Chain A
Amino acid sequence: MQNGEIELVGVSKTFPSPSGALRAVEQVDCSISKGEFVALIGPSGCGKSTVLRMLGDLDHPTTGSVTIAGQPPAEMRRRRRIGMVFQDANLLPWRTVRENIALPLEVAGKSASGTARKIDDLLNLVGLADFPDALPWQLSGGMRQRVAIARALVLNPEVLLLDEPFGALDEITRNRLNIDLLKIWTEVGITAVLVTHSLSEAVLMSDRIFVMSPRPAVITATIPVGLARPRNAAMQRSQEFFDIVAQTGEALYRPFETDDNEAAA
């Protein structure tokens, strides 16, 4: 199974806790191809973020192996091949939009003169060409996440990790950002992994959905999303879309319904 861009083989993660070891992730195997957009969906606190964090070398598997392009995540991180958008945009509040996007370039030691074009291109790509000198507090939540996306892409990474990036936004803004993110993904041609707890978001965005169970998280189903690309907002009202949402929802809610039945019995 060593052919994907991202490979997880028998990955488990156990956290120490006061009430004994907490099994967050158990025996996760999955393979993600280069340029694919996949979503990890599961109930909150199920360990899907832990999986994403292991890809970004922010957490480490207790057992099993994680590789990105054949390399351990730590190596990919050192080469700065991983971009990540966090739940909270975490922009530096004293830096303008442009300066925030430039942060990874500065850390990588790239000269400011050689990178101005790159930042201009990204500002256009994420639709912030009119706000290069705005400060984060002057921006809406959605605009802040646009800056965070540009910042994640500025070093041309191979993998884009998205940890519920639009989870705090209202549905309409979120929809717009998702469609824009898909455009960016198509243009940049990057492998993307999205953690979400929204069924429709998972279906709209991805080529495949990995459905995860409550803790300890295992992958209970892998749902292929056959919707044509490029995707648009109107597709969310098609029968095909609803069918995939229903199929994903069934896989997602099955463990809870079994619990309910047991409780009723």
Chain B
Amino acid sequence: MSARAIRSETSSRMRSLAAVLLVLAVWEGAARLFSPGLNPIIPPPTLLVTYVADHLGLLFVVMRPTVIEAVAGFAIGSAISIVMAALFVRFRGVEAAMSNTLVLIHSLPMLAIIPLLVIWFGIGYTPKIIIAALATFFPVLNGALRGLRSADRSTLELMHLLDASGLQTLFKVRIPASLPYIFAGLKIAAPQAVLGATVAEWIGSREGLGSQILMALLNYDVPLLWACMVLCAMMAATGFCTILAVEYIVIGRRAEPVKAED
């Protein structure tokens, strides 16, 4: 990369940071100017920061179950969907048999399933993990299916010519070729898992970020609502960035740099 390209990248990062700071400054000014009350609907950012700092212990306790549910659901959902995609690609009949059922499950609104899951599994972690897994399942399945089918025809013919076994073709060609697609799915799924876990906690739950949001709403505790929202966003962003980092470790070094027109 040329020095000029590095400079332009740095300056674009500086610009985006400046834009965020500017928005925060305008927000701070407006909030202090127009609603100087103690519990404003839109609290200034500094108030949020002090609030989070003061309630760090509480927020950590509140966040813990949500993190556990989101991570567990994400892991289970992505594992099932990748294995299922491999089965679909290997056995066409399985996909034909299951695709309609999957579309049906996918079209069920999450909010409608949660009460049922609570009745079935109680108010523990299970229903939340199932919702997080469901939220993860479809983007990852979609990515994995497209990825496993992305190998060139001529590459597959080469493997045939070499008398490669189905497993060799899977591990040497199909799976490596599918990784960028699977990571694309995982990057969409990670914030979805956090969202799924949080929403699932709205119904039938005594702990977690979702339940805290509901209580903050009933108590009209607007700063707490904001703090929960910020935490929720941070968890989603952390999930996304973790996948991004893993992707870089696994394939980044070998990937073709993205072209300008992409």
- Give chain A's interface residues, CB within 8 Å of chain B: 56-58, 77-78, 80, 82, 84, 86-88, 90, 92-94, 103-104, 106-108, 135, 137
Given the interface pairs A88-B152, A90-B155, the reply to whether A106 lies near B172 with Cβ below 8 Å is: yes
Given the interface pairs A78-B163, A107-B172, the reply to whether A90 lies near B158 with Cβ below 8 Å is: yes
Closest CB of chain B to A226's CB: distance in Å? 33
Whole-angstrom CA separation of A236 from B163 in the bound complex: 39
Looking at chain A's contact residues, the main secondary structure is loop
Is B160 in the interface zone, CB < 8 Å from A? yes
Residues of B within 8 A of A137 (CB): 256
Is B251 in the interface zone, CB < 8 Å from A? yes
Residues of A within 8 A of B254 (CB): 93-94, 135
Contact B162 A90 (CB under 8 A): no
Closest CB of chain A to B102's CB: distance in Å? 30
In the complex, the 5 A-B pairs of residues with the closest C-beta atoms, listed nearest first: A137-B256, A90-B154, A107-B162, A107-B164, A86-B154
Closest CB of chain A to B150's CB: distance in Å? 11
Closest CB of chain A to B216's CB: distance in Å? 48
Mark B147-182 against chain A: 1 for CB-CB distance below 8 A, else 0.
000001011011111111000100011001101000
- Give chain B's interface residues, CB within 8 Å of chain A: 152, 154-155, 157-164, 168, 172-173, 176-177, 179, 251, 254-256
Known contacts A84-B161, A90-B155, A107-B162, then 13 further A-B pairs from the complex at CB < 8 Å, ordered by chain A residue: A58-B157, A58-B160, A58-B161, A82-B161, A86-B154, A86-B157, A88-B154, A90-B152, A90-B158, A94-B176, A94-B179, A94-B251, A104-B162
Closest CB of chain B to A127's CB: distance in Å? 22
Closest CB of chain B to A88's CB: distance in Å? 6
Whole-angstrom CA separation of A94 from B147 in the bound complex: 14
A-B contact pairs, 10 of them (CB 8 A): A58-B160, A77-B163, A78-B163, A80-B163, A86-B158, A87-B154, A94-B254, A104-B162, A107-B159, A135-B256
